[in-house]
Chains A and B, each alone.
Chain A
Amino acid sequence: MFLPLLVATLVSISAMSLHAASSDVFAYVEKSCAGCHNGSVKSGDIDLKSLHSAKTFDEDREIWEKVVEKLKLGQMPPPGIPKPEWKATKAVTEWLEGEFARQDRTAKPDPGRVTARRLNRAEYNNTIRDLLGIDIRPADNFPADTPAFGFDNISDALGLSPALLENYIDAAERSVRAALFGPEKRKPAAVHYSAPVRINDSRGTRSLPKDLSRYDETGLSTLHSAHFVHRFPVDAEYNFRLVLNGHRPNQSEPARPALYIDGKFIKEWEVDATDLEGQIVEVRARVTAGEHLLSATYHKNYHGLPPQYGGPDPSKRPPEALINPRGKLSEKDIETLRKYGTRIKTDGIETRIDNRYEAIDIGGPFEQTMGAPAESLKRIFVCGHTTGKHVDACARKVVSHFASRAYRRPATAKEVDQALGFLLLARKQGDSFEEGIATALQSILVSPQFLYRIEREPSAVAGRNAVPVNAYELASRLSYFLWSSTPDEELLRLAGEGKLRQPAVLEAQVKRMLRDGRSSALVENFAGQWLQFKNIDVVRPDPQKFPMFDDALRLAMRRETELFLEHIVREDRSVLDLLDANYTFVNERLARFYGIDGVTGPEFRKVDVSGTNRGGGVLAHASVLTVSSYSTRTSPVIRGKWIMENLLNAPPPAPPPGVPPLDEAKAGGGTLRQQMEEHRKNPACASCHSRLDPLGFSLENYDAIGKFRAQEGGAEIDASGSMPNGSIVRGPGDLKKILLERQDDFVECLAEKMLTYSIGRGLQHFDLPAVRQIRRETAENGYRFSALTLAIVNSVPFQMRRTPDK
């Protein structure tokens, strides 16, 4: 559909290969390619003319793979050079692909070799959490890990600098001490969050629900509330000061500001005023260490309004006559009003319901909970723990157990002896047993065996180029793939018993790990980077154009995508749901934003979207639509590129040198669409843009923060584009159809990205057979997520390691 050539299946490859032979390929190359790709011109540093021996398809495989790619995408021959008959091109590419498949069948599988992988920030945080039973995220302040191939867990890109090693030393100390002795005593400090001003949107009645008798009475989903995620350093009491702003109509009942933490009600106040600016309410509450969502809201915001607002439970306060937007106040009126409002505006009658928050200040910690967490002591002191009552025999057991967990394999006697040296030292210095243990544990957490996942070099085996990684290494590969964390006791036990490789055991373990809560790391770290929806945290849509985009909406957008992906992972749904699903997850705020009726309250729930314009799949998620837009407007080019790159595995090449970038927003240059059509007249641009643009245009009904729109600036949105083959794609429905027709490409794309992430290295041509195998196994098992995961886990690159070159 998209390009007829691309939907060729393996079956047709072998059938078609009868129609061409290597001599036809050489003839085709001579005629259509060698004009530029020859020994003297050598365009793109490629000389195809010299490749005509029978063995070239074997020996120069990488070049020929590139040829196939360029031909299939129609990028070669370039515009200006006569295009060969498409049938000839098709025959050539299919013959070459058949030839590659033949080679792959006979070649020994090559799993490649992953170099030692340093724990990245997410892995370090999770590993510390699982080892020590404390969630203090010490790596959040480490320098960012350099990504490669789209992911930040690629071994060759994860370098180590002295500054980072210092961070590791420091983090080891903080973590171990927090686990053994409790958190360090913190001095109180104040943190200020200012709420975004949304006066434009909340002025007047625009933000009022159509039906005031039915709305979210907690206010957590309305624009009047403010939400912040705050990381609390320690378990303690904190002071929360809410600074109010905005107005309530005269004659309203008092406003009811309220505070929630993680959706749990903390306190409600009453503030009787028409002008809330600068009013302050405060409460002190005990909070556990870690991230919590703070929500400042107004309860029953549309209750108790003057009767003419038509809300529930209207105000019984006099004087009704005052409520006249253009009226002037008499002295008597003012006096009456004063009785009913601690602060009122006297220059006119207040009619706005734009009460909101100016800021939240968090002060603390106070009354900090001291002492080591029981869970941490249990995990570390495997002999049991009573301060001052440790027997020396336990020291070995404690250190050995911890080192084995930290190194993800049984620690050797030598390693344990060495770490025990710190206990002797502590005793000599008159320090406690616990102090000695602390230093021993800290050293273990700075050891290269902890900081790196090092796989031992297999010895060369005659006649074999690869051997399986050992069972402990496999356990680590599994846990860092699915959990971004260290293997748990069960995985290590199965590895130790030699059972982990048994197919039934392995399958059961993979399924267990996917169901486990820790698999949210796969959503966050793999999918967050693959689909780039993590960027929703950092994008900044223009507040003038998109005043409704606040942190609550930002969080809701991200949560939708996370819940959707977690649903696919945990419920073992088809991966094709990513492209097309009749469900998604929303709360009231997001539902209102999407125009989905019947959702009240801040909790997310699964909703059927089949009858709506949010026709399912990640391409209808506001998160994805926002991160693939500019801050002020949509970009069909970025969205088109996003689809090609992330869903179809066909990243468009960078624009050729010397081509001026498209100025999509040039003043007076016609509509965006007209400018892009102009741009496509340049043949150098057209070869890519004719593919990118129509895909992007089909999503034009979603604006730059993913809100549905039928019009823009008074003009009807044209969400159509014409594909290179002449077919018209109109709207997200057509786009979905195109993508589903190319589901093989999609699954192969997903397989490639996920394999890259799982083994932590960029894929090479010798990995392609494994990728195709993963795609086939996934398809054979109904595209279930667990089938894809298992196929990756069972693949040669995941299971094995290349033996050293001789």
Chain B
Amino acid sequence: MIITKKALSRRALLRGFGTAVALPVLDSMTPALAAPGANPTVSPARMAFLYVPNGIIMKDWTPKADGTGFEFTKTLKPVEAFREKMIIMSGLDHYNGQALGDGAGDHARAGATWLTGAHPKKTEGADIYAGVSADQIAAREIGKQTTFPSLELGLEDNRMVGGCDSGYSCAYSNTISWSSPTTPLPPEINPRAVFERLFGDGETTDPAARALQARQDRSILDFVREDAARLGADLGAGDKRKLTEYLDSVREIERRIQKIEERNTDSAKLPAIDRPAGIPPTFEEHIDLMFDLMTVAFQADLTRVITLMIGREGGNRTYRSIGVPDAHHGLSHHFNDPSKIDRLQRIDQHHVEMLARFLAKLQSAKDGDGTMLDHSMVVYGSSLSDGNRHDHLDLPTLFAGGAVNRIKGGRHVRYKKGTPMTNLFMSMLDLSGVRPEKLGDSTGKIEYLTDLA
């Protein structure tokens, strides 16, 4: 709702980071990008997962032809400029998103399954259970090298009260990131808060101020740790779990402080950005500002893993800017009404237009010897294909980026029936040097990602 005039100019500046004008600033950061111990000549691959809710009008999404000769469909048209940088993937499934005897609640299951591949436990209570998500598996490993293992972002606050989806906890539809099967990571939707998290809460990104802040935070953390230790003895089992969660967070923040201090000695210069005022009034401005922050976070190597929920699963955003006043989820049950399908398609296409903006920002951001897009793996998709019927199979999936020049784009790949979505994530993790045994229902790595002539 609130955005300041001042912030508008700041945002213009922020946008400028992707352009040639601002490049000198970024170049001065480049030495800092190579984390200690990493091979300085190889840029790390960044991962971004962008989720759109309520399914997609598939007939306007899926290209007719497979392979390299495909034509961009109406919905995908806005990203055609990046043709050679992307793979459209058809046929990937989330078997575990289906009811499997649990009845209604496909939206909750869709959200919970997308990055976990796990069949979430049906409960409205506190005993939620899904699986660890792909981004968090990546964050555990490659996140060690950055100040923030990962960022979880969103664009839709869940201020609705009451139940979410048919007997499922709201946690399932509000988030796609799970650090453990019982720990959903709620997305941050306020760009100002994201900025402050990344760059501290000062008006600027002055390293000396941040170092002072870090020292003080450290002494406070020492205090609370001692305090918590005294407490430990006379706690019940449930309370001990809570305390463990608390102490784990203390440790993680201490690790971050250490990272900040290391970087400060490295005299790393952070981009000179002013903090955003808050949540912009329109969806388009909001997502744009998030994209700016995501790009800068990648550029400054503050994190290498980001998830962005463009909407909450089952969310009811309206899109008046493109003449769709209907609530998205309500509309997604279109019952083959052509005018509803048309409006949904417009929403889908609008989302892809937004994606194009993000890809453009990554493309124009320089990173080492290439562009940020070349050094990224961006997955854009939904965990429902046909939202009307709640179909969890043949999911709309777009993979973009070069994963440090290891991917050959310009293709539409149709995977064979029954290929788990999680196989794609297994491959991406593998490319990042992270090799978990399994992710949800994965059966191995996906084909035709890098293994192409």
**Which A residues lie at the B interface, using CB under 8 A?**
113, 115-116, 118, 141, 143-144, 146-150, 152, 154-157, 159-167, 169-170, 172, 174, 187-194, 414-415, 418-419, 421-422, 425, 439, 442-443, 446-449, 451-452, 454, 456-457, 528-529, 532, 534-535, 537-538, 540, 542-544, 630-632, 654-657, 661, 663, 666-667, 761-762, 804
Q: Is the CB of B103 within 8 A of A654?
A: yes
Give min CB distance, B371 to chain A, whole Å. Answer: 29
> What 0/1 readout, one digit per residue, does chain B (138-182) give for beta carbons within 8 Å of chain A?
000000000000001000011111110011011100100001000
| B38 contacts partner chain A, Cβ-Cβ < 8 Å | no
Give min CB distance, A201 to chain B, whole Å. Answer: 16
Contact (A654, B239) CB under 8 Å given A141-B190, A447-B223, A447-B224:
no
Question: How distant is the Cα of A257 from the Cα of B388 in the complex, in angstroms?
Answer: 49
Q: Is the CB of A116 within 8 A of B242?
A: yes
Give min CB distance, A801 to chain B, whole Å. Answer: 9
Contact (A160, B249) CB under 8 Å given A144-B159, A144-B174, A443-B220:
yes
Which listed segment binds A: B69-77, B119-127, B411-419, B441-449? B119-127
Question: How distant is the Cα of A116 from the Cα of B242 in the complex, in angstroms?
Answer: 7
Q: Is the CB of A161 within 8 A of B219?
A: no
Question: How distant is the Cα of A611 from the Cα of B128 in the complex, in angstroms?
Answer: 49
Contact (A162, B126) CB under 8 Å given A146-B169, A146-B184, A418-B226:
no
**Across-interface contacts of A149 in B (CB, < 8 A):** 124-126
Question: How distant is the Cα of A187 from the Cα of B7 in the complex, in angstroms?
Answer: 11
| B238 contacts partner chain A, Cβ-Cβ < 8 Å | yes
Q: Is the CB of B253 within 8 A of A439?
A: no
Q: Is the CB of A630 within 8 A of B327?
A: yes
From A189, A457, A537, A663, B5 is in contact (CB under 8 Å) with A189
The 20 sampled A-B contact pairs (Cβ below 8 Å) are A146-B169, A146-B184, A146-B186, A147-B161, A148-B125, A149-B126, A150-B124, A154-B126, A156-B126, A159-B183, A162-B249, A162-B256, A165-B253, A174-B201, A415-B230, A454-B239, A456-B234, A537-B159, A544-B325, A657-B103
Find the A residue at minimum CB distance from B5.
A190
| B3 contacts partner chain A, Cβ-Cβ < 8 Å | yes
Contact (A143, B277) CB under 8 Å given A414-B230, A654-B167:
no
Contact (A535, B161) CB under 8 Å given A115-B239, A191-B2:
yes
Contact (A163, B231) CB under 8 Å given A169-B217, A804-B236:
no
Q: Is the CB of A657 within 8 A of B239?
A: no
**Across-interface contacts of B327 in A (CB, < 8 A):** 540, 630-631
The 6 closest A-B pairs by CB, nearest first: A156-B126, A115-B238, A189-B4, A143-B186, A162-B252, A654-B104
Q: Is the CB of B217 within 8 A of A144?
A: no
Q: Is the CB of A447 within 8 A of B238?
A: no
Q: Is the CB of B219 within 8 A of A439?
A: yes
**Which B residues lie at the A interface, using CB under 8 A?**
1-7, 99, 101-105, 124-128, 152, 157-163, 166-167, 169-171, 174, 179, 183-188, 190, 192-193, 196-197, 201, 203, 216-217, 219-221, 223-224, 226-228, 230-231, 234-236, 238-239, 241-243, 245-246, 248-250, 252-253, 256, 277, 281, 316, 318, 325-327, 330, 333, 335, 337
From B3, B103, B223, B236, A113 is in contact (CB under 8 Å) with B236
From A144, A166, A544, A666, B253 is in contact (CB under 8 Å) with A166
Find the A residue at minimum CB distance from B243.
A448
Contact (A666, B188) CB under 8 Å given A148-B169, A543-B325:
no
Give min CB distance, B153 to chain A, whole Å. Answer: 11
Contact (A146, B5) CB under 8 Å given A446-B224, A542-B325:
no
Give min CB distance, A522 to chain B, whole Å. Answer: 15
**Across-interface contacts of B152 in A (CB, < 8 A):** 163
Contact (A187, B220) CB under 8 Å given A141-B190, A160-B249, A631-B330:
no
**Across-interface contacts of A534 in B (CB, < 8 A):** 159, 161
**Across-interface contacts of B220 in A (CB, < 8 A):** 169, 172, 439, 442-443, 446
Question: How distant is the Cα of A456 from the Cα of B230 in the complex, in angstroms?
Answer: 13
From A159, A187, A191, B203 is in contact (CB under 8 Å) with A187
Question: Which of A419, A452, A761 has the most B CB atoms < 10 Å from its CB?
Answer: A452
Apart from A155-B242, A157-B128, A163-B188: 4 A-B pairs, beta carbons within 8 A: A157-B125, A165-B246, A166-B197, A446-B224
Q: Is the CB of A448 within 8 A of B224?
A: yes
**Across-interface contacts of A174 in B (CB, < 8 A):** 201
Give min CB distance, A675 to chain B, whole Å. Answer: 11
**Across-interface contacts of A542 in B (CB, < 8 A):** 325-326
Question: How distant is the Cα of A667 from the Cα of B336 in the complex, in angstroms?
Answer: 10
Give min CB distance, B290 to chain A, whole Å. Answer: 15
Q: Is the CB of A630 within 8 A of B171?
A: no
Q: Is the CB of A654 within 8 A of B124?
A: no
Find the B residue at minimum CB distance from A415.
B227
Q: Is the CB of B245 within 8 A of A457?
A: no
Question: How distant is the Cα of A448 from the Cα of B185 in the complex, in angstroms?
Answer: 20
From B101, B242, B246, A115 is in contact (CB under 8 Å) with B242
From B2, B187, B330, B337, A630 is in contact (CB under 8 Å) with B330
Q: Is the CB of A762 within 8 A of B318?
A: no
Find the A residue at minimum CB distance from B126.
A156
Q: Is the CB of A762 within 8 A of B125?
A: yes
From B157, B227, B234, B256, A144 is in contact (CB under 8 Å) with B157
Q: Is the CB of B159 within 8 A of A452?
A: no
**Across-interface contacts of A165 in B (CB, < 8 A):** 246, 249-250, 253
**Across-interface contacts of B196 in A (CB, < 8 A):** 170
**Across-interface contacts of B2 in A (CB, < 8 A):** 191
**Across-interface contacts of B169 in A (CB, < 8 A):** 146-148, 157
**Across-interface contacts of A414 in B (CB, < 8 A):** 230
Give min CB distance, A434 to chain B, whole Å. Answer: 15
**Across-interface contacts of B126 in A (CB, < 8 A):** 148-149, 154-157, 761-762
**Across-interface contacts of B326 in A (CB, < 8 A):** 542, 631-632
Contact (A657, B104) CB under 8 Å given A149-B125, A163-B188:
yes
Q: Is the CB of B105 within 8 A of A457?
A: no
**Across-interface contacts of A421 in B (CB, < 8 A):** 223
**Across-interface contacts of A667 in B (CB, < 8 A):** 337
Give min CB distance, B11 to chain A, whole Å. Answer: 13
Q: Is the CB of A655 within 8 A of B183?
A: no
From B125, B203, B249, A161 is in contact (CB under 8 Å) with B249
From A143, A147, A661, B333 is in contact (CB under 8 Å) with A661
**Across-interface contacts of B277 in A (CB, < 8 A):** 189, 191
Q: Is the CB of B125 within 8 A of A169?
A: no
Q: Is the CB of B186 within 8 A of A169?
A: no
Question: How distant is the Cα of A582 from the Cα of B407 in the complex, in angstroms?
Answer: 71
From B127, B161, B190, A532 is in contact (CB under 8 Å) with B161
Question: How distant is the Cα of A666 from the Cα of B4 in the complex, in angstroms?
Answer: 44
**Across-interface contacts of B242 in A (CB, < 8 A):** 115-116, 118, 155, 160, 452
Give min CB distance, B122 to chain A, whole Å. Answer: 9
Q: Is the CB of B7 within 8 A of A189?
A: yes
Question: How distant is the Cα of A115 from the Cα of B244 in the complex, in angstroms?
Answer: 13
Q: Is the CB of A448 within 8 A of B228?
A: yes
Question: How distant is the Cα of A582 from the Cα of B235 in the complex, in angstroms?
Answer: 51
**Across-interface contacts of A157 in B (CB, < 8 A):** 125-126, 128, 169, 171
Question: How distant is the Cα of A64 from the Cα of B272 in the complex, in angstroms?
Answer: 66
Question: How distant is the Cα of A163 from the Cα of B147 in the complex, in angstroms?
Answer: 12
Question: How distant is the Cα of A617 from the Cα of B102 in the complex, in angstroms?
Answer: 37
Contact (A425, B219) CB under 8 Å given A116-B242, A116-B243, A415-B227:
yes
**Across-interface contacts of A148 in B (CB, < 8 A):** 124-126, 169
Question: How distant is the Cα of A552 from the Cα of B242 in the complex, in angstroms?
Answer: 43
Find the A residue at minimum CB distance from B239.
A116
Question: How distant is the Cα of A761 from the Cα of B238 in the complex, in angstroms?
Answer: 13
Q: Is the CB of B219 within 8 A of A160?
A: no
Q: Is the CB of A141 within 8 A of B231?
A: no
**Across-interface contacts of B243 in A (CB, < 8 A):** 116, 448
Question: How distant is the Cα of A446 from the Cα of B245 in the complex, in angstroms?
Answer: 14
Question: How distant is the Cα of A307 from the Cα of B238 in the complex, in angstroms?
Answer: 76
Q: Is the CB of B188 within 8 A of A192?
A: no
From B4, B162, B171, A150 is in contact (CB under 8 Å) with B162
**Across-interface contacts of A632 in B (CB, < 8 A):** 326
